[in-house]
Amino acid sequence: MDGPSNERIGRATGFGMVAQGDGYWYRPTSVEGIRDVFEAARRSGRKVVIRGSGRSYGDAALLPEGLILDFRRMNNILAWDPETGLLTAEAGVTLEQIWRHTLEDGWWPPVVSGTMFPTLGGALAMNIHGKNAYRKGTIGEHVTEIEVLTPSGRTLILQPDDDAFYEAISSAGLLGVITRATLQMKRVSSGDLRVLPLSCADWEEQFACMERFEGDADYMVGWVDAFAKGKSCGRGLFHAAWYLDEPAERPSSLRMDRQDLPDTILGFFPKSMVWRYLKKLNNRWGMRQINWAKYTASRLLGHGKPHPQSLVAFSFLLDYVPNWQRAYLPGGFIQYQSFVPKEHARRVFAEQFRMQQEARLESFLAVFKRHRPDRFLLSHGVDGYSLALDFKVTERNWPEVRRLAHRMNELVLEAGGRFYLAKDATLRPEDARAYLGDETLTRLRTRKAEWDPEGLLSSAQAERLGLV
Ligand SMILES: Cc1cc2nc3c(=O)[nH]c(=O)nc-3n(C[C@H](O)[C@H](O)[C@H](O)COP(=O)(O)OP(=O)(O)OC[C@H]3O[C@@H](n4cnc5c(N)ncnc54)[C@H](O)[C@@H]3O)c2cc1C
């Protein structure tokens, strides 16, 4: 049996574990099953939230008391052409399923997030970016067709020449259900990248690296020590990476066994245990030491020396330690990611660090990336940079963390910057209005009135921000 008969009550949490809520879970296996969920919502007078793998950090994929449309059983790859690299799949397939299906034929997803677990539907609903955002933009730019089921019951096939395509992708599950998509994969002749690590003494050097390699490198990412102050503010480790050309017809680097992440660290220590040890160090003192040690190691080991690394190990570094997020329990954590135009980014990020240090709420992990603008409706793209900051949350510090986020928002908004719904847990309606603008919000509401006139699709985030 499909559809509403799968109902069960259960808790949904965001990846950061701060946002949570109980709802009625449905796990359809067909478009008919999805229609049944909307019917159940009408009957019960409740709303529906769509959910992929729940990898959004905040409350985008949950809705207390709502019907949770869990997409994970609609996860079939429907068509794969190793000649053209076009892949068609149901929206519940994960990025992991996709690369495992295509890599041995010499194709890799054009855009991936720092984890391989998001679903294709979730990736499109947030329009994810990767460490190649400045070159390849967002995942939506590599999609040739999507199928959308509207809550009013229409099935639409949308392509890039249609305005609605740019609205459905990026709309955080608020307009319609993306049921399947066709993705143009990227041809690769090797499963390895050439990775160049460069240790940076301050923000100047971080930005100089990004500027130096943006015309040439296939991927770039910077890690930043948020505890370092004064002249060392912004210090960290920058990586640029290039696809490798391997002359062999089917190089062994494309094989699955060459890509799998190891189960142990140093060959014997089970990775599944690591988060328990991390938890002991997951405080201000411990994280200051870890950040310092990582920076010091970056200066002493490997600086300026390129090395090969598998696509999986480079792309999905955050999957290296399973369940690392549990090290933040019991309170969880939030990720605050802001996107700032290039003229202002250096000043805004340095000031964000100063504010965190003053509040003694330094981010335990800070990641720096280069981006470009795009034409999707709820876009986070800018011609500039993003800084993603992970903040530990406790019952005691939560009001202060939020206050800090709101103060940092002011800097971002004054600089014409943007935010990203996949990473948001603290925006207020006025912040969302300010970065999205009235024109975008009007377009969102006009399309919603057409596709979802009863207002069935929602999320805790959309309600918090007044988006629907
Ligand atoms: C460790 C980690 C690293 C990450 N790194 C990056 C990164 O580098 N770049 C980046 O851009 N993001 C990154 N993310 C964020 C992540 O890629 C996004 O949050 C993505 O949307 C998660 O996909 P999901 O399937 O888990 O979707 P969920 O989190 O379950 O849902 C996300 C949104 O999509 C909607 N939705 C889900 N499925 C559908 C569908 N079929 N149709 C319509 N709407 C739908 C939901 O309603 C919700 O609003 C990272 C997340 C984690 C945990």
Residue nearest to atom 51 of ligand 1 (CA): 55
SS3 387: strand
**How high is the pLDDT of residue 118?**
98
Atom of ligand 1 nearest to the CA of 55: 26
Short-list 108, 13, 111, CA closest to 59: 13
pLDDT at residue number 270: 80
> Exposed, middle or buried, 302 (CB in 10 Å: 0-12/13-18/19+)?
middle
Domain with CATH 3.30.465.10 in the chain: 77-187
Reported as a pLDDT band with limits 50, 70 and 90, residue 272 is confident
Is there an atom of ligand 1 within 6 Å of 19 CB?
no
Which residue from 128, 318, 379 has its CB within 8 A of the most atoms of ligand 1, so it is best to mutate?
Answer: 128
Interval between CA 123 and ligand 1 midpoint (Å): 5
- State whether residue 224 is helix, strand or coil: strand
Location of each CATH 3.30.70.2520 domain in the chain: 192-427
Higher-pLDDT residue of 432 and 318 is 432
What is d(CA 391, CA 366) in angstroms, rounded to the nearest whole number? Answer: 9
Per-residue pLDDT, averaged over 1-12, amounts to 70
At residue 155, does pLDDT exceed 60? yes
Which CATH number does 77-187 carry? 3.30.465.10
Mean pLDDT score across all residues of the chain: 96
* Ligand 1 nearest atom to the CA of residue 14, by list position: 29
pTM: 0.97
* E strand or H helix that includes residue 128: none
Q: DSSP letter at 261?
A: P
Task: Please give the average per-residue pLDDT across 199-207, as a whole number.
Answer: 98
pLDDT of 3 reads 44
pLDDT in tens, 32-79: 999 999 999 999 999 999 999 999 999 999 999 999 999 999 999 999
- Sequence length of the chain is 468
Q: What is the pLDDT of residue 80?
A: 98
Per-residue pLDDT at 94 exceeds 50 = yes
Residues 291-297 have a mean pLDDT of: 96
pLDDT of res. 4: 52
146 lines ligand 1 (CB under 6 A): no
State the Cα–Cα distance between residues 393 and 247, nearest whole angstrom. 50
Residue 224 Cβ < 6 Å to ligand 1: no
Q: Taking the CB of residue 159, how many other CB atoms lie within 10 A of it?
A: 12
Predicted confidence band of residue 274 (pLDDT cuts 50, 70, 90): confident
Per residue in 365-407, pLDDT (tens digit) is 999 999 999 999 999 999 999 999 999 999 999 999 999 999 9
CA distances from residue 22 to 48, 67, 361 in whole angstroms, order as listed: 13, 9, 30
pLDDT number for residue 399: 98
128 pocket-lining for ligand 1 (C-beta < 6 Å): yes
Are 452 and 176 a contacting pair, CB within 8 Å?
A: yes
Over residues 229-270, the pLDDT tens digits come to 999 999 999 999 999 998 888 899 999 999 988 777 767 778
Confidence grade of residue 279 (pLDDT, cut at 50, 70, 90): very high
Q: Dump pLDDT digits (tens) for 403-442.
A: 999 999 999 999 999 999 999 999 999 999 999 999 999 9
According to CATH, the topology of domain 3-72+448-465 is 3.30.43
The arithmetic mean of pLDDT across residues 164-186, rounded, is: 98
Dihedral over alpha carbons 293, 294, 296, 300 (to 10 degrees): 130
61 CB within 6 A, ligand 1:
yes
Q: Round to whole Å and give the CA distance between 375 and 365.
A: 30
Residue 157: burial class (beta carbons within 10 Å; 0-12, 13-18, 19+): exposed
The DSSP element (H or E) to which 182 belongs, if any, is strand 177-184
Residue 1 has pLDDT above 60, yes or no: no
Given the DSSP bridges, would you call strands 67-70 and 48-51 parallel, antiparallel or unpaired?
parallel
Distance in angstroms (rounded) separating the CA atoms of residues 53 and 6? 18
Place of tokens 């190793």: 82
Helices then strands, each counted (H, E), the chain: 14, 21
The verdict on the CB of residue 151 being under 6 Å from ligand 1 is no
Does 13 sit in the ligand 1 pocket, CB within 6 Å? Answer: no
Choice from 51, 156, 339, 364 to test ligand 1 binding pocket (greatest atom count within 8 A of CB)? 51
Atom 9 (ligand 1) nearest CA:
113
- 101 confidence band (pLDDT: 50, 70, 90): very high
CA distance 45 to 197: 55
Q: Residue 6 — very low, low, confident or very high, per pLDDT cuts 50/70/90? A: low
The finding on whether 50 has its CB within 6 A of some atom of ligand 1 is yes
Burial class (CB in 10 A: 0-12, 13-18, 19+), 339: buried
In the chain, residues under CATH classification 3.30.43.10 are 3-72+448-465
55 lines ligand 1 (CB under 6 A): yes
pLDDT at 173: 98
Atom of ligand 1 nearest to the CA of 74: 41
Q: Residue 307 pairs with which residues in a beta bridge?
A: 195
Judge if the beta carbon of residue 123 lies within 6 A of ligand 1.
yes
With a cut of 60, say whether residue 2 has pLDDT above it.
no
Beta carbons within 8 Å of 255's beta carbon, 6+ residues apart: 104, 191
Q: With 90 as the cut, is the pLDDT of residue 288 above it?
A: yes
389 CB near ligand 1 (under 6 Å): no
Ligand 1 in contact with 226 (CB < 6 A)? no
Residue 433 tokens read as: 């209005």
Q: Give residue 113 CA to ligand 1 midpoint distance, Å.
A: 9
What is residue 11's predicted lDDT score, i.e. its pLDDT? 97
Alpha carbon of residue 245 to chain centroid: 28
Nearest CA to ligand 1 atom 49: 172
State the DSSP string of 11-36: EEE-TTSSSEEEEEEE--SSHHHHHH
What one-character DSSP code corresponds to residue 67? E
- For the Cβ of 178 lying below 6 angstroms from any atom of ligand 1, the answer is yes
Our answer on whether the CB atom of 129 is closer than 6 Å to any ligand 1 atom is: yes
CATH architecture designation of domain 192-427: 2-Layer Sandwich (3.30)
Question: Are 21 and 11 a contacting pair, CB within 8 Å?
Answer: yes
Quote the pLDDT of residue 462: 98
